[in-house]
């Protein structure tokens, strides 16, 4: 790659071990019928393995210094490259580019992990999401209620599917070597979301977790919903009136949201 310099601002940590890359693609269950959306092509190592398994790979890369390298590497292949920041492109345009149902596979830059996952789980064309994340983030995604790791991202991921930690990746497998280990999280999207108004529910959950040490009644109190009303509804759900957000399962979050969404209208 010549004089290419790794850029901290893009969170660049590249993988090159072919056996590991094959494992990632196998865990993502990519087949010759699949269109794959990749976020962060990097040096193109994962892109190359994806292209050998998929019908088509549509890969976004923010670093324009990689244009020459990637364009030469994938010239004449089933890889379509876009040198743009995918977070600045709206969903309609992305869906037009992809042209149908797709699987998302990515070695995500750590700084955009939550925004990418939250956004694409809400995309109606997503089939599944298989992403490399920091292992501590993976543990948060698969956490159970009433644990310190359970939080907003846990609830969001479970709203759209059943997240699994399918592969652990030692930090030494990356270059440059990061300070943490990583893991691959896979989420098969449910055909029908658990709750139709996902935007409203996600906002509700974020508010509930706004200050973790506070009672959920304090975090959710508004000029339309009193703390005592919230405490009563918590009791109706079999919870303590002093419950905190990490005590609520996805099902109880949905029930609580349904009660108060009408009152907030």
For residue 252, the domain's CATH number is 1.10.8.100
Summarize pLDDT for 144-197 with one digit per residue, the tens: 999 999 999 999 999 999 999 999 998 888 877 888 899 999 999 987 665 567
Q: Over pLDDT 70: what percentage of the chain?
A: 92
Same domain, yes or no: 207 and 139 = no
Assess whether 155 and 176 both reside in one domain.
Answer: yes
Choose the final residue of a domain: 164, 188, 212: 188
CA dihedral sign of residues 61, 65, 70, 75: positive
Q: Answer yes or no: do 163 and 224 share one domain.
A: no
Top pLDDT among 155 and 263 is at 155
Residue 132 covered by a domain: yes
Residue whose tokens read 């943490």: 180
Range(s) of the domain holding residue 234 = 198-263
Identify the pLDDT of residue 6. Answer: 45
Q: Find out whether 54 and 36 touch, Cβ atoms under 8 Å.
A: yes
The answer, yes or no, to whether residue 45 has pLDDT greater than 80, is yes
Examine the fold and report which residue of 127, 153, 188 is the final residue of a domain before the chain moves on.
188
> Do 148 and 30 reside in the same domain of the chain?
yes
Tell me what pLDDT residue 5 has. 52
Q: What pLDDT is attached to residue 13?
A: 65
| Contact present, 214 and 244 (Cβ < 8 Å) | yes
Whether 227 is covered by a domain: the verdict is: yes
In this structure, the answer to whether residues 235 and 132 fall within a common structural domain is: no
Quick one: how many helices (H) and strands (E) in the chain?
A: 11, 9
Within 13 Å and on the Cβ side, how many CA atoms surround 134? 13
Top-confidence range, 5-9, 20-24, 212-216: 20-24
Cα(137)–Cα(57) distance, integer angstroms: 26
Bridge partners, 129 (sequence order): 104, 187
Q: How far is CA 156 from CA 5, 64, 81, 119, in A?
A: 35, 32, 29, 10
Distance from C-alpha of 44 to C-alpha of 55, rounded to nearest angstrom? 17
Mean pLDDT rounded to a whole number for the chain: 90
Identify the domain boundary among 126, 158, 188: 188
Classify residue 1: in a domain, yes or no: no
Residues 170 and 244 occupy one common structural domain: no
Give 190-224 pLDDT, tens digit per residue: 876 655 678 889 999 999 999 888 999 999 988 78
Question: Do the domain assignments include residue 2?
Answer: no
């Amino acid at each position: 790659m010549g004089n290419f310099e790794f850029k901290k601002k893009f969170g660049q940590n590249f993988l090159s071990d072919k056996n590991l890359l094959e494992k990632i693609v196998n865990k993502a269950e990519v087949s010759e019928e699949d269109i794959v959306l990749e976020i962060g092509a990097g040096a193109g190592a994962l892109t190359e393995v994806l292209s050998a398994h998929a019908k088509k790979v549509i890969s976004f890369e923010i670093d324009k210094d990689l244009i020459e390298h990637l364009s030469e590497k994938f010239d004449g292949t089933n890889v379509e490259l876009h040198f743009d920041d995918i977070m600045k492109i709206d969903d309609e345009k992305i869906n037009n580019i992809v042209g149908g149902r797709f699987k998302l596979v990515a070695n995500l830059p750590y700084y955009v992990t939550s925004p990418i996952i939250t956004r694409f789980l809400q995309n109606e064309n997503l089939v599944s999401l298989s992403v490399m994340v920091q292992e501590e983030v993976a543990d948060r995604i698969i956490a159970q209620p009433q644990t310190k790791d359970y939080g907003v991202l846990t609830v969001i991921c479970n709203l759209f599917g059943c997240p699994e930690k399918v592969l652990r990746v030692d930090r030494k497998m990356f270059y440059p070597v990061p300070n943490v280990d990583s893991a691959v999280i896979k989420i098969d999207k449910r055909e029908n979301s658990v709750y139709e108004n996902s935007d409203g529910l996600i906002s509700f959950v974020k508010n509930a977790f706004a200050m973790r040490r506070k009672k959920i009644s304090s975090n959710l109190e508004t000029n339309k919903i009193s703390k005592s009303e919230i405490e009563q509804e918590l009791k109706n759900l079999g919870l303590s009136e002093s419950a905190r957000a990490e005590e609520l399962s996805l099902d109880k979050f949905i029930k609580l949201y349904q009660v108060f969404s009408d009152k907030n209208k």
